[in-house]
Amino acid sequence: MRKLKVVTIGGGSSYTPELVEGFIKRYEQFPLSELWLVDVEAGREKLDIITGLTERMFRKAGLDVEVHATLNRREALKDADFVTTQFRVGGLDARDKDELIPIKYDVIGQETNGPGGMFKALRTIPVIFDIIRDCEELCPDAWIISFTNPSGINAEAVFRHTGWKRFVGLCNGPVNMIKNIRDYLGLSETDVLETKFGGLNHMVFALDVNVNGENKNKELIEKIIEQKHKDTLKNITNIPWSEHFLRGMGYFGIDYCRYYYMKPEMLEHLKQDAAAGRNRARVVKEVEKELFRKYSDPQLCEKPKELELRGGALYSDAACNLICSIYNDTGDVQVVDTLNRGAIDNLPGDVAVEVSCVITKDGPVPLHVGPLPLQAVGLILQLKAFEILTTDVALSGNYDDALLAMTINPLVQSEHKAKLILDEMLEAHKEFLPQFFR
């Protein structure tokens, strides 16, 4: 049996136990032999804690997996089979600024949407390119599975500006949506659910829902209305949709749709949270303190229940299923961020999309889902233009292009506000944006 080596960039993340649990559950299908956890100096303490818990989890499972922790990325990457990324440039302090600065100007501040998502991309994309350059030299046959947000913009940048093909962006959102669909429809384990997803990361829709060969799109919408859309992601305020809007939309969309279709209401909630010192970054800081307190317990040897509060529910299912399926050439269907290649008729073929794909040893092969519905495609085209411009700016550091990108974002759409936010956020994140300050 050949050795399988996985390297996790951002190994000190509170999400790592999710990943480890996923590898343990799938060991027979993916016999992992080496797991390298990589972080930066600022994350050294968390990395040490996570490494100890990881070793205990594998030991409890009776698995002989070598666990290595390092601050030297190049040391870890040598001959890797898979590289996963789950890092946050600037940590939660940077996220705090991404959320709070836009709110000062009555614009939604959020980790992956609007100005916050743009600045997270500007900090992140250069680091991903550095990782790719190392992989080209040290593990040219590795697959990079990127859970790092903003997942879709990062994928767009890689496909648009590098020659690296073995890259897949990943989000736990569609996995949670599939679980919700099964719950809404009251499906048993024996019911066969087939869905086709299409859109962008954090703006994706279940376009086709079939159960045992029968279309259930309309029934699903009625069940969501009946059950008052009870299931939402932990990091998004659950403001109920009206039954009229849901019937008019006709498709089950990811919870992030609220930021666009309920913009004033979501902004008001975010402003209230910020005023109370309860914006999401600060809540996550509290959750992480408790998580790392638990992780430090030498008796703990499993993922604690509290990790679900972190917002990454089913991450291990998404990441480990994908890795397993590529390794075993299974041909099953999963939702990932990859090149469109004709899957969505009314988007260009060379842009990154989030879409249902057949997973093979050669990577994801997008399923043809047809055109996105009229009620979704306009917003998605505008978001895609913003994403493409943002990837260009991440490389150039061009101020004029950055102002344009922020202005056309659907959550901003004001040149005056965009300039105020851009100037303040550039200064706030100056340490991580050398491309703007050469």
Identify the CATH number of the domain in which residue 113 sits: 3.40.50.720
Angstrom distance (rounded) from CA 85 to CA 367: 25
Residues with active-site annotation: 256
Distance of CA 381 to the CA centre of its chain: 20
Q: Give the mean pLDDT of 194-219.
A: 97
Rounded to 10 degrees, the C-alpha dihedral 399/404/408/409 comes to -10
| pLDDT at residue 313 in the model | 61
Q: Give the mean pLDDT of 117-138.
A: 98
pLDDT digits (tens, 9 = 90+) for 163-201: 999 999 999 999 999 999 999 999 999 999 999 999 999
The residue ranking higher by pLDDT, 170 or 233, is 170
Q: Is the pLDDT of residue 400 over 80?
A: yes
Angstrom distance (rounded) from CA 315 to CA 16: 10
Is residue 412 one of the residues assigned to a domain? no
CA-closest candidate to residue 23, choices 360, 354, 327, 358: 327
Token output for 316: 């291990």
pLDDT digits (tens, 9 = 90+) for 354-371: 999 999 999 999 999 999
Q: Give the mean pLDDT of 377-388.
A: 98
Is residue 417 one of the residues assigned to a domain? no
Place of tokens 């990577």: 363
Q: Give the mean pLDDT of 72-76.
A: 98
CA-closest candidate to residue 117, choices 421, 427, 414: 421
Task: Work out the widest C-alpha separation in the chain, in whole angstroms.
Answer: 61
pLDDT interval class at 96 (50, 70, 90) = very high
CA-closest candidate to residue 397, choices 368, 429, 365, 374: 429
Is residue 97 one of the residues assigned to a domain? yes
Q: Give the mean pLDDT of 229-253.
A: 87
Angstrom distance (rounded) from CA 421 to CA 436: 15
| pLDDT at residue 305 in the model | 81
Q: Is the pLDDT of residue 232 over 80?
A: no
Q: Residues with Cβ < 8 Å from 38, sequence gap 6 or more?
A: 7, 8, 9, 10, 11, 69, 70, 71, 72, 73, 76
User: What single letter denotes the amino acid at residue 427?
Assistant: E
- Percentage of the chain beyond pLDDT 90 is 92
Q: Which long-range contacts (CB under 8 A, 24 or more apart) does 223-228 make?
A: 223/184, 223/185, 224/184, 224/252, 227/184
Q: What is the mean pLDDT of the chain?
A: 95
CB atoms within 10 A of CB 374: 8
Is residue 124 one of the residues assigned to a domain? yes
Q: Give the mean pLDDT of 142-167.
A: 97
- pTM score, whole prediction: 0.96
Is residue 44 one of the residues assigned to a domain? yes
| pLDDT at residue 230 in the model | 66
Is residue 382 one of the residues assigned to a domain? no
Distances (CA, A) of 48 to 38, 71, 154: 10, 11, 28
Q: Residues with Cβ < 8 Å from 199, sequence gap 6 or more?
A: 205, 253, 254, 344, 353, 354, 355, 372, 376, 380
pLDDT digits (tens, 9 = 90+) for 104-122: 999 999 999 999 999 999 9
| pLDDT at residue 308 in the model | 73
pLDDT interval class at 320 (50, 70, 90) = very high
| pLDDT at residue 311 in the model | 62
pLDDT interval class at 304 (50, 70, 90) = confident
Q: Is the pLDDT of residue 246 over 80?
A: yes
Is residue 317 one of the residues assigned to a domain? no
Rounded to 10 degrees, the C-alpha dihedral 337/340/346/350 comes to 120
DSSP 141: T
pLDDT interval class at 307 (50, 70, 90) = confident
Q: Is the pLDDT of residue 314 over 90?
A: no
Q: How many domains does the chain have?
A: 1
The domain of 108 spans 5-170
Q: Which residues, in sequence order, are bridge partners of residue 33?
A: none
Is residue 261 one of the residues assigned to a domain? no
| pLDDT at residue 306 in the model | 78
Angstrom distance (rounded) from CA 433 to CA 19: 30
| pLDDT at residue 288 in the model | 93
Q: Give the mean pLDDT of 152-170.
A: 98
